[in-house]
Amino acid sequence: MYERGSARGPSRRWRAWVVAGGGLALVAILALILVAPWQGEAPIEFSYSQLLVALAEGRVIEGTFVNGDRMEGLLHPESGTTTTGPVAFETQLPVGQVDHLLERFVSAEVPFGARASEPSLWTHLLFAAPWLLLGGLVLFFFVKGPGAQFARHSRTRSRMARHGRGPVKFSDVAGADEAKAELEEIVGFLKDPKRFGRLGGRMPRGALLAGEPGNGKTLLARSVAGEAGCEFFSASGSEFVEMFVGTGAARVRDLFRQARAHAPAIVFIDEIDAVGRRRGEATASGSQDEREQALNQLLIEMDGFTPSDSVVVLAATNRPDVLDPALLRRGRFDRQITVGYPDLKGREGILRVHTRGLPLGPDVALEDVARGTGGMSGADLANIANEAALAAARRGSMLVEMQDLDEARDRILLGSERRGLLLTAEDRHLTAYHEAGHAVIALVVPGLDPVHKVTIVPREKSLGVTAMLPERDRHTHAFSDLRARLVMLMAGRAAEERVLGIERVTTGAGSDIRHATRIARQMVVSFGMSRRIGMVDLSGDDGPLTAHTGRIVDEEVRRIIDEAYQEALRILDEERPLMDGIAQALLARETLGQADLAELMAVR
């Protein structure tokens, strides 16, 4: 794949600088030719006494006084030498001897004159400097500066990846089975468009991949090119929005011209919302006209295809709601494919893809890792595999074991451990009971996910964690499940109150309270789980709530949270021995796993 900064880039830059250097040297030579005179053979140095002797012998042909302190001239060579022609000489005159020398020249009847000295070489260079600077600026303008940009401004910056160089296949993409099924038809069209044309069908002209970042939209587009064995052109939507008017439209034309020349081909435009936003909307950058010109050209190019072109446009965005309706209509983007977060099976498949090259230990259970990563994207899962390999290397192990994967997941979800953070005995005691309160509710209340680990080791985002792993992905939540979740969230503050008293509770439950408030408000305004509000959706954009309705919503949210808090207090009072046992075990061992919690439950 040829990209900016690829192997061809340095050679082009080297050639450009060679051309610039050669041109600058040529300008320097021409400037010296025009400004500096050519110098002849260097004159011989004569002392003042030697000059007087030469005058007396009649060997001096002529002389010139230079600036009143130096004599230049010609003289006959001495007898017995091989030199036949006149010899140039130069003599530095002593102070106050100019008049005496004039008399000697007059008496010897030797012609003489006077002149000012000529500029030195440095003076010539000083006069030539503006010419050199001007020449350098001109060369820079055309080689590296705006002149080169004007010459290249209409060329697309797309990258072309040939399918023969490490193609990506559908087997390299996991966790997006529905999206792959939609794209398999496009692969069939690219491989054999005539097979579908026999029945009157036409090849899809485009497919829009929409979804949150990190879920593999670009990888899916590359896999289509790899499966079909065709060329793949990729570009970013922002590359078509420039300050020069007409640049974006010219780049769009150039991109599709290249794609047609290499058909069958795929054109992939990442973050298409940068250029495909709804027309008429003002932008802060003031580039609305240029963006709309680029969008209009894109619409024309996509509508101008024929089935024989064998060029398909794939685009990716996480904001399909802001795209122009003309771009989304059938005939341009015939398919709109949602690429969402992977489910449990998909996460396990993604982990298997990214751990294929890792030496996994016998205790590794990728299904367990997948259960503990609900809501993570493919990029997050790839990062877990990489962090696990780094954790194993830090331990000096030759195998990536389950503890490494657990550490990698906790690092991504909760942040790095802060073992250097020194907590007082009171802080450790409080944190242990806070997490013990969460753990007790999670262990005894039905409808909650199993507890995976409880720890009071400080991390970047918290001083302790009660981690639960879901047994399966949940797509709907019952009222009892949400209420149990609220009880578990409020149990940390309830445990603090029971141990320290209501006047000594701390800010440690702040994040739990925020999360509980968000769940309770959704129950009231979105899920119809409040008797006073009823089954009405108040979360839309139909305008702000009235003062009366807003007061009722606030009262219902507070009632639901208060009831959950009272329930947490009641359960902790009943299970006080279990809470004390978990807290004491945390103070002794800092981290409790499922086996440790099972032992404490057996004692209960």
Cβ contact 398:359 at 8 Å: yes
Choose the catalytic residue: 435, 496, 497, 556. Answer: 435
Residue reference for tokens 């009222």: 479
Cα separation, 492 vs 454, whole angstroms? 13
> Strand pairing partners for 232?
161, 266
Residues 6+ apart with CB under 8 A from 221: 209, 232, 234, 266, 268, 314, 316
Sheet holding 87-92, edge to edge: 44-46, 87-92, 70-75, 60-66, 112-115
Partners of 335 in the β-ladder = 207
What is d(CA 497, CA 524) in angstroms, rounded to the nearest whole number? 27
Burial 262-294 (b: 16+ CB within 10 A, else e): eebbbbbbbbbbbbbbeeeeeeeeebbebbbbb
Residues 6+ apart with CB under 8 A from 192: none
Q: How far apart are CA 285 and CA 248, in angstroms?
A: 15
Q: Which long-range contacts (CB under 8 A, 24 or more apart) does 388-393 make?
A: 388/355, 388/358, 389/358
In the DSSP assignment, the letter for residue 450 is: P
Give the pairing of strands 87-92 and 70-75: antiparallel
Residue 66 has phi, psi (to 5 degrees) of -115, 115
Q: Does the annotation mark 590 as catalytic?
A: no
Bridge pairing between strands 60-66 and 70-75: antiparallel
Residue 162 backbone zone (phi > 0: left; psi -120 to 50: alpha; other: beta): beta
Question: What H or E segment, with its residue span, contains residue 598?
Answer: helix 594-603
Query: Is there a contact between 206 and 314 (Cβ–Cβ < 8 Å)?
Result: yes
Q: Find out whether 381 and 347 touch, Cβ atoms under 8 Å.
A: yes
Measured at the alpha carbon of residue 206, what is the angle toward residues 205 and 208, in degrees to the nearest 5?
165
Q: How far apart are CA 146 and CA 166, in angstroms?
A: 37
What is the C-alpha R_g of the chain? 42
Rounded to the nearest 5°, which phi and psi values hold at 140? -65, -40
How would you write 480-519 as a 3-class SS string? HHHHHHHHHHHHHHHHHHHHHCHHHCCHHHHHHHHHHHHH
Six-digit token string for 252: 């769009």
For residue 245, what are the contacts with CB-CB under 8 A and spacing of at least 6? 289, 290, 293
Q: Which tokens in the block code for residue 157? A: 């910056």
Contact residues for 139 (Cβ-Cβ < 8 A; gap 6+): 19, 20, 23, 24
Comparing CA positions, the residue from 10, 84, 89 lying closest to residue 42 is: 89
Tokens of 46: 């004569």
| Residues with active-site annotation | 435
